[in-house]
A and B are shown apart, each in its own frame.
Chain A
Amino acid sequence: MHHHHIILRVVTKMLVGTIILFAFYVQFHGDFSPGGGFQAGVIMAVAFILYGIVFGLNKAKQVFPAWVVHKLVALGVLVYAGTGVASMLLGYNYLDYGAFNPHHPSHGQHWGILAVELGVGITVTGVMVAIYYAFAGRPPPMKDEDW
């Protein structure tokens, strides 16, 4: 396996960085163009899944350890829910982003949307990578040659 697929391995190495960059673009430019936390999370996960498929699960787990992934799954929901709690502590309703800039509510909305989308992105990335790790970590009943 290690010496096969040289083209795939080289192309993957070039693509993974670009895909992650694109994921960040989709995440933080979601206010102005199509995109947002859900799409960015999926694209970010695809970068790691591609790496895992081409270089093997163990290499992928060295780059992005399973325990980190499992923490991210919960962290995203906490960021989202925490944004709501923060707005409550500032004396506004739950998830009322006007709280973050009372003099200029639309700026507060921008901050709120950014935080919430970040939470969504983190959870979706975590869940998708965690699911891939769980599926790929299962011992297969047949060998690759039986395909």
Chain B
Amino acid sequence: MSKPYTPPMPLTWWNKNTAYRLFMLRELSSVFVALFVLELLCFVSQVGQGEEAMDQFIKSLDNPLYLLYHVIVLAFALLHSITWFNLTPKVMVIRLGEEKVPDVLVAGSNYVACLVVSLLLWWIVKG
């Protein structure tokens, strides 16, 4: 006779191993990135309403809880970027004849591009 047993999928499946946990964190990171984008949009809108509104917005952020929140957001943003940068070689396969361009180069080019853009922004902001 045949009576297959189908193992149940526990609700805590994502806590089964480190790889799954890291994956969930990566997924979660997008929430924080999105929240920060919303905050940035608010900020832009305040800037549009004049210097006073902008100052008030900045002042409203001036407390330890917000600082902590921003540290967390930064950590998730970094996790998000790093994990995705490291995954690019899987998505983007570049071949030169029979040889595949090494993963390190593909992933590395992301980091380099990120650094260049960041420096450029910093240069613009600092004027």
Binding between chains A and B: no
Q: B residues within 8 Å of A by Cβ? A: none
